[in-house]
Amino acid sequence: MPQVFFVIGPAGSGKSSVSKLLAEHHGAAYIDKDTATKRFTELLLTLDGSDPNERDNNEFYQRAILPLEYASILDLTRDNLSVGRSVVLDAPFGKFFADPDYLINAGREHHWPEAELIVVHVRTDGEAVRARLVARGYERDEWKLNNWEQFWAASQVNACEWKGARHVELDNSGDAIDVGLLDVVFGIGGVPTSDPPA
């Protein structure tokens, strides 16, 4: 049965690095939300008269564009699952954490075939995250850095309540990712997170 890995964590936590290692390790399709949607997102923001790099504090983006971004990558997931290919999704998904049935509904609404769902929580300490955001220098991270306390506090209280998936944690606070951490996802060692409330 193909698998879908939802690699979640705040910006700068190392989601992309973990996701790419997972995809390589498992021979899975790698779908990055930014790569899949950046061009149409920036165009829509520009047509709206908004800063094409502003996401976090842009009501139009949050209301109208963000849902399209996620619908697009969930459709791409369906296309890969339909040919038996596992998928690694590299996207924050934070807006949807509070909905326990999000994964169940997403699979139904996007017509996914049967698949095992695995949520990989990438954990990183705040100073490491801030240093990574500064180092990568993305314009879209400016709001996060300029409003650091607000951004970081919100990311820590936004617990993922999803049901219908296996949840595992990955500590990525170090300078480099240990390939052995991938064993956590495959059930060789590691400590699963507590199941979300029923």
The pLDDT score that the predictor gives to residue 197 is 43
Domains belonging to the chain, first-starting first, are 3-185 (3.40.50.300)
Please state, in angstroms and rounded to a whole number, the distance separating the CA atoms of residues 130 and 40. Answer: 28
CB 184 within 8 A of CB 190: yes
The pLDDT score that the predictor gives to residue 198 is 43
CB 149 within 8 A of CB 198: no
| pLDDT string in tens for the chain (198-residue length) | 999 999 998 766 778 888 998 899 889 999 999 999 999 999 999 999 998 888 878 999 999 999 999 999 999 999 999 999 999 999 989 999 999 999 999 999 999 999 999 999 887 766 666 666 677 667 766 766 777 676 666 665 568 999 999 998 887 776 666 655 566 555 543 334 445 544
| DSSP secondary structure, 115-133, as one string | -EEEEEEEE--HHHHHHHH
